[in-house]
Structure 1
Amino acid sequence: MTDLLLSDPSTLARDEGYWQRIAAQYDVEPGPINLEYGYFGRMTRHAGATYQQHIDAINRCNSLPLRQHFDDIGSVEIRNAAAELLNVPHASVALTQSASASLQTLIRNYNRLQAGDQVLVSDLDYDSVANAMRWLARQRGAEVVELSHPHPVTYDNLMQSYREAFARNPRLKLMPLTHVTHRTGLVMPIREIAALAREHGIDVVLDGAHALGQMEFDLEALGIEFAGYNLQKWIGAPLSLGLTYIAPARIGDIDPDMADSRFALDDVRSRAPYGTPNVPAWLTLPTVFAEHKAIGGAAVKGARLSYLRDLWVSQARDIEGIEVLVPDDPRLYCGITSFRFTRHADQAAMVQRLLNEYNLFTVGREGSACGPCIRVTPGFTTTPAEVQQLVDALRQLSR
């Protein structure tokens, strides 16, 4: 706590003693250097032990504590704590099993789309989200408009691509918008795009899967009324937890999921898919939220991840044969950034070489208009020395 009181996030991001103490809270299996924390993050040792304790307790006690306390009291208290994490009204949030589940229920139950309307899908949207939008269009007789983002991307040409798309397609009514794109790591200017969409009568469903926990944001200030998140990447929760957000004034525009009647029509929980939740994981959330706050929250976490990103990107930009796909505009990047080897056509093969020859675990990403790439995502146990190993490998492999 003393570190947090004395240091701002940018200073703390460079305090290796602080991050060594953070890293010591995690159990890490010996093996390759993990630069693929974008999939999901680790729980701390304490959170993992707490999770296991809840698994054991629920297994011993079975349904009695769930019926007597969790269903009507405990689950609500935990939901409220999740809403406070987002700084939104308690009644605007429901817990789900993942960001994908959250976004799919928002999309399939959106009731304002009619035959002849248009929906927008981009090359940087998550596959399950884009597929859900295409499914919705088929069901409602709407047209799908495909948008490819410019490359190399800048703030100005990104905004211009949306201005042009909105102007060309006056029947647009709905679009997903990804806060941090999973393919390249590009951070979208959410507030500006959402405002532009609103001017054209277009509703936005925000995919915040990679943003929550590493970026500070205010949903109301961003102008976002529908959003889906997960808690397993940068918050540090067990797998199988997500959040659905619906602004209270817009609850009527999302139907109850599969005509769910468990909750009142104005209760967001009726918009979440029905099923027995992973109760031990839910019960672990208060511990996880407390740890997130103790580290310094998204401000400190995000500063650290961006610092580690800058360490390798600043050097990689000077390496012939390496193309970094995300600009250094602070409005457009966070800790996740992708690159590619310009002298090697098969990026998947280069991912394998990084692993086999240099003990570096990254992940290949395809599907964006700018082409296949390799995503690098450091985590809270990543050290500058490990990042330097990546740079050294890029220098050698790029030849």
Structure 2
Amino acid sequence: MPRNADNEHHWHTIAQRYELEPGPINLENGYFGRMSREVRGQYLEHVAFINRSNSLHVRQRFERGENDEIRRQLAGLIDAAPEAIAFTRNATEALQSLIRNYNRLQPGDQVLISDLEYDTVKGAMRWLAGYRGVEVIELSHTHPASFDSLLQTYRQAFEQYPRLKLMALTHVTHRTGLVMPVEAIAKAAREHAVDVILDGAHALGQIEFNLAQLGIQFAGFNLHKWIGAPLTLGFLYIAPERLADIDPDMGEFHYPATDIRARTPYSTPNFPALMTLPLVLQEHQALGGSAAKGARVNYLRDLWVSQVRPLPGIEVLTPDDPRLYCGITAFKFVGRDQQVMADRLLQDYGLFTTTRTGAAFGTCIRVTPGLVTSAADINVLVNAITELDTL
């Protein structure tokens, strides 16, 4: 086990950096993360400052160099060149821009999605059918999933559908926390000349990865989930050698066609949030980065999964292969209404979770610990599931 992952004193000290609202134990940290007290304070200071200075600072300082330095620091987070990234409001906006502006499709081509993709990604790929004349191929993954079954599903699709040109792939699926074998799938896709657009919304800050090693040339990310930034911050990534394969967004002209920033809508961003990002990145690295954060939430995940998986009326939907899971994991009360059971977790035990729908296996309950979650919180969850399983 990585150092400090199970050190409750260490993580209690870290948890003190965050302010919590009294009430239920929050095990739905996958929606968005918290800002630390220090980040929140600086963000509010920047809000006040920009409100006072208005466009003067933005025009004279931010647009003339500050934004470039912030972009350079963000690029360092994923070991990319600054010219390979552009700020967006979130991963969804980034992925929609990449899908909408991918210019290598012809009528009759095929694009690929699975049941585990984020709904807006599914919608964007289906949109291509009406506006580009392509056919959308939709896969449902077998359950329970394994490394080999996931890879084989895509290999079969590449063989079965020779007109495939583009696919969406989610690194960490938001429904169950399943971690896709991205490198192996991307390698198989390249062998069949299929481009991959990677949804990295839940991966960044929770999993260590290298985009070049993964073989990924197009991706979208969030900064408000596991990195700890204010809401409204995300970014897209395009490998510089592939920039010409993504058109400027709806004729965007504020930046030249050789600039990745032309691939996103030009608009007034959240300046205070962007100005706070260097502190966010500094804190992320000081905590130990994705390695430390991922190890901690994985440890908490293992605590509850190891105890509830054997229960007769519980089905844990996320595999225990360490290559295929992260801190997020989903389960079911077999034969019961999952929303009713999630409501009971909240009302009877003070545990806030969320239900997820849209996958072939139906509705599930998603559990996502965070940096403020303790082992004691997890014990409350285990006891609650165990009691409810007997009712």
TM-score interval (norm. to shorter): over 0.9
Secondary structure of 1:11's aligned partner: coil
Confirm or deny: 8 A CA contact 1:194 1:204 kept in the other structure.
yes
Q: Is the 8 A contact 1:106 1:226 kept in 2?
A: yes
2:135 paired with 1:149: no
Question: 1:1-399 to 2 correspondence within 5 Å?
Answer: 10-344=2-336, 346-399=337-390
Q: How many pairs were matched up?
A: 390
* Partner-residue secondary structure (3-state), 2:256: coil
Instruction: Give yes or no for contact 1:343–1:398 (8 Å, CA) kept in 2.
Output: no
1:45: how far off?
0.3
Q: CA deviation at 1:78?
A: 0.8
C-alpha displacement of 1:343: 3.5
- Supply the AA of the counterpart residue of 2:358: G
Q: Percent identity?
A: 59
Other structure's SS at 1:175 match: strand
Aligned-partner residue type, residue 148 of structure 2:
D
Determine if contact 2:115/2:358 at 8 Å carries over to the other structure: yes
Contact 1:120–1:174 at 8 Å: present in 2 too? yes
C-alpha distance in 1 between matches for 2:183 and 2:130 = 29
Contact 1:316 1:322 in 2 (8 A): yes
> Gaps (5+ residues) in structure 1?
1-8
Q: Structure 2: which 5+ runs fail to align? A: none
Deviations 1:279-316 (A, max 9, x none): 00000000100000000000000000100000000001
1:232-258 deviation per Cα after TM superposition (whole angstroms, max 9, x unaligned): 000000000001000000000000011
Q: Could you report, residue by residue, the CA deviation over 1:131-164 in whole angstroms, capped at 9, with x for unpaired residues?
A: 0011012211000101001101111111111111
CA drift at 1:265:
1.4
CA displacement at 1:11 relative to structure 2 = 2.1
Q: Which amino acid aligns with 2:368?
A: T
State which drifts further: 186-195 or 157-166: 157-166
Tell me, in whole angstroms, the C-alpha distance in 1 between the residues paired with 2:65 and 2:252: 20
TM-score (normalised: structure 2): 0.99
Q: Is the 8 A contact 2:254 2:266 kept in 1?
A: no
Counterpart secondary structure, 1:195: helix
Please tell me the residue identity of whatever aligns with 2:125: M
SS of corresponding position for 1:12: coil
One-letter code aligned to 2:361: C
- Measure, in 2, the Cα distance between the counterparts of 1:80 and 1:261: 22
- Give the AA of the match of 1:228: G
Matching residue of 1:3:
none
- Give the Cα separation in 2 of the matches to 1:123 and 1:343: 21
The Cα of 1:102 is off from its aligned counterpart by 0.3
AA at the equivalent of 2:190: R
Q: 1:213–1:302: 8 Å Cα contact kept in structure 2?
A: yes
2: CA distance, partners of 1:99 / 1:125: 13
CA drift at 1:277:
0.2
The answer to which of 86-95 and 259-268 deviates more is 259-268
